[in-house]
Amino acid sequence: MAYHYKLETLLTVRRNFEEQAQQRLAHELFVLANHKKYLAELEEQRMTLFAVLEEKKKQTMSAAMFSFYVEAIHMKNRQIAFQHNAVLAQQEMIETVRADLLVKVKARKVVERLKEKDFLAWRQEMLRKEQVESDEQAVMRYVKEVAG
């Protein structure tokens, strides 16, 4: 008689939920990496603007042009601040998804531990039945030897 776990369907569902949570975490990590990459690009652009402004200040420059560079730098600073907030929000999202994944892993492990315990109980019962059958055969052989 083969072993069949009564809650195999539940275990499969829990595994699927865990896999979905892992995929969501991978997606959120990918999004965070993109946010960080864009933040680095913005900071690089700001540094380039500073360098260009410094280079232009060595020459004669109109007030309008100076004002243009200053405004561009302020705009980059606002974009950097916005992107920094996006990175922080994404990190919080990742922590939430990780906590959800942890809950799903624990739920799966509970069902797996129950399966292991159920399998051990089934194996013990099978060993007990085999022992009983073996004892019955030994008794039958003994009765045949005594009677015959």
Q: Give the pLDDT confidence of 53-65 residue by residue, as tens digits.
A: 999 888 888 889 8
Residue 74 reports pLDDT greater than 80: yes
pLDDT at 146: 87
The pLDDT score that the predictor gives to residue 60 is: 86
- The model carries a pTM of 0.77
pLDDT, position 61: 82
Angstrom CA distances, 139 to 111, 127, 129, 131, 145, stand at 42, 18, 15, 12, 10
What is the pLDDT, as a whole number, of residue 123? 96
**Helix-, strand-, coil-residue percentages of the chain, each rounded to 5:** 90, 0, 10
Whole-number pLDDT of residue 56: 87
Percentage of the chain exceeding pLDDT 70: 99
pLDDT (tens digit per residue) in 12-46:
999 999 999 999 999 999 999 999 999 999 999 99
What does the pLDDT average to over 105-118? 97
Name the residue ranges covered by the structural domains of the chain.
8-114
- The CATH number given to 8-114 is 1.10.287.1700
Measured between alpha carbons, how far is 136 from 148 in angstroms, rounded to an integer? 18
| pLDDT tier, 133 (very low <50, low <70, confident <90, very high otherwise) | very high
Return the DSSP state at 62: -
